[in-house]
Chains A and B, each alone.
Chain A
């Protein structure tokens, strides 16, 4: 069950990468940033999966995962936001978050080899703030990247707690130590479904451009 969910999640991510790439040249900046995000995340997932299969410790890839997700999704929201206040809030959040993390890592490099709780909390919460601002902007407006936003918010709400527990999962009995990651894989599958839904509703050729539900 556990490996099936993980593999299914990666499979869905792979499909998303393919369908999003097909329209890459025809769509705007926001679409491209999101496609790049999908590609980067797919690479990281694939590498970590391969490393896991060869029993190599892949935990330091989590920093790459959180960092790139934070930076790319921040850029994604930056290109969606129209109001200057929101854009500057996002810029400040992005720079401050990165500075804090760099500072923390420079103080204690051993954090690199385990889940860094501050990193998880900071990147996830800032992304939740940006997603919420986007929801706020969508009130009374046409729904742009609406499904991605729903999926991302659900994923972040769930996975943040699960990742925070990451360091103690190894201490659980072998029967239960995969529980956290199974739940995480499940919520990741949901997230990927929403990304696929977004593409079908807003970007698939059949209903090009005009339909905003």
Chain B
């Protein structure tokens, strides 16, 4: 009887402790689940915030570029065209003065014709810079050929352009972005990279058009903050995002850069 009592009390003790153990383990599990959920949601929020921050930066880059472009156009118009048209107006006024000799009239008209043709030329150049007519009428291939020709004739740089795919004229809206990206890259290569050889290669790859761009310039450090915040690069990124493509950029100091993107 006494043994049974001892046994019973031991059993009761075990039951209570086991019950407590299971209960507390369950509680720990529930708490773990609760706090984990909280932590994961918080991490996701942080990620979303980062994304939003990135998009804001892109947006501000776009706005700044737009303003700079406007400034450039205003400057071009003011310096190249307005000033020439001003002189044309002055010369025209001169024509109205009395008692001009024939030779004087001839000289003034010659001036006027000269200046108007120059102004015309400049306005064509400005318009051309804004949207190359070749690109608009004959597609990306012709546009790029002209761009390469321009670069190799105006600047001291050798451009190798190779294209293994066809560009449809209907896609010209998208191709304009590709054109701009390459224009920006080439400008960067020449201006900052001091490159002497640039090569551009297009091919069809897995249903995408793939473009490989390389130069032999001084390159830049991928990790440095300077290159990360460049307006030009941001612009390229947002154009790539617009094309729903992907881009890989690699560069080593003094070894040039290579950019591969598809669209």
Other than A121-B20, A140-B39, give 10 A-B pairs with Cβ distance below 8 A: A117-B13, A120-B17, A128-B28, A135-B32, A140-B43, A160-B21, A161-B21, A164-B14, A164-B18, A165-B18
- Quick check: B40 and A139 within 8 Å, CB to CB? yes
- Quick check: B21 and A139 within 8 Å, CB to CB? no
CA distance A157 to B10 in the complex (A): 22
User: A131-157, CB under 8 A of B: which get 1 and which 0?
Assistant: 010011001100000000000000001
**Known A117-B17, A125-B25, A161-B18: A132·B10 in contact at CB below 8 Å:** no
**Across the interface, which residues of B come within 8 angstroms of A209, CB to CB?**
none
Q: Which residue of A lies closest to B35 (CB)?
A: A136
**Across the interface, which residues of A come within 8 angstroms of B40, CB to CB?**
139-140
Tell me if B241 is interfacial: C-beta within 8 Å of chain A.
no
Q: Which of B's residues lie within 8 Å of A, judged by CB?
A: 7, 10-11, 13-14, 17-18, 20-22, 24-25, 28-29, 31-32, 35-36, 39-40, 43
**Across the interface, which residues of A come within 8 angstroms of B35, CB to CB?**
136
A141-184 residues with Cβ-Cβ distance < 8 A to B are 157, 160-161, 164-165, 167-168, 171
**Across the interface, which residues of B come within 8 angstroms of A125, CB to CB?**
21, 24-25, 28
- Quick check: B24 and A171 within 8 Å, CB to CB? no
CA distance A125 to B39 in the complex (A): 23
Tell me if A129 is interfacial: C-beta within 8 Å of chain B.
yes
Task: Choose among A129, A132, A136, A164 the residue that contacts B21 (Cβ–Cβ < 8 A).
Answer: A164
A118 to chain B, nearest CB (A): 8
CA distance A171 to B18 in the complex (A): 18
A99 to chain B, nearest CB (A): 19
**Across the interface, which residues of A come within 8 angstroms of B17, CB to CB?**
117-118, 120-121, 164
B218 to chain A, nearest CB (A): 32
| List of 9 A-B pairs having minimum Cβ-Cβ separation, nearest first | A117-B17, A132-B32, A164-B17, A164-B18, A132-B28, A125-B24, A121-B17, A140-B43, A160-B21
- Quick check: B21 and A121 within 8 Å, CB to CB? yes
Tell me if A48 is interfacial: C-beta within 8 Å of chain B.
no
Q: How many residues of A contact B (CB 8 A)?
A: 21
- Quick check: A167 and B21 within 8 Å, CB to CB? no
> At the interface, is chain A mostly helix, strand, loop or mixed?
helix
- Quick check: A168 and B10 within 8 Å, CB to CB? yes
B26 to chain A, nearest CB (A): 11
**Known A140-B39, A140-B43, A161-B21: A168·B14 in contact at CB below 8 Å:** yes
Q: Which residue of A lies closest to B42 (CB)?
A: A140
- Quick check: A171 and B36 within 8 Å, CB to CB? no
Tell me if A62 is interfacial: C-beta within 8 Å of chain B.
no
CA distance A197 to B21 in the complex (A): 28
Q: Which residue of A lies closest to B3 (CB)?
A: A171
Q: List 25 A-B contacts (CB under 8 A).
A: A117-B13, A117-B14, A117-B17, A118-B17, A120-B17, A124-B21, A125-B21, A125-B24, A128-B25, A128-B28, A132-B28, A135-B32, A136-B32, A136-B36, A136-B39, A139-B39, A139-B40, A140-B43, A157-B25, A161-B18, A161-B21, A164-B17, A164-B21, A168-B11, A171-B7
A96 to chain B, nearest CB (A): 15
- Quick check: B39 and A129 within 8 Å, CB to CB? no
- Quick check: A167 and B14 within 8 Å, CB to CB? yes
**Across the interface, which residues of B come within 8 angstroms of A128, CB to CB?**
25, 28
**Across the interface, which residues of A come within 8 angstroms of B43, CB to CB?**
140
**Known A125-B21, A157-B25: A167·B10 in contact at CB below 8 Å:** yes
B22 to chain A, nearest CB (A): 8
CA distance A201 to B97 in the complex (A): 97
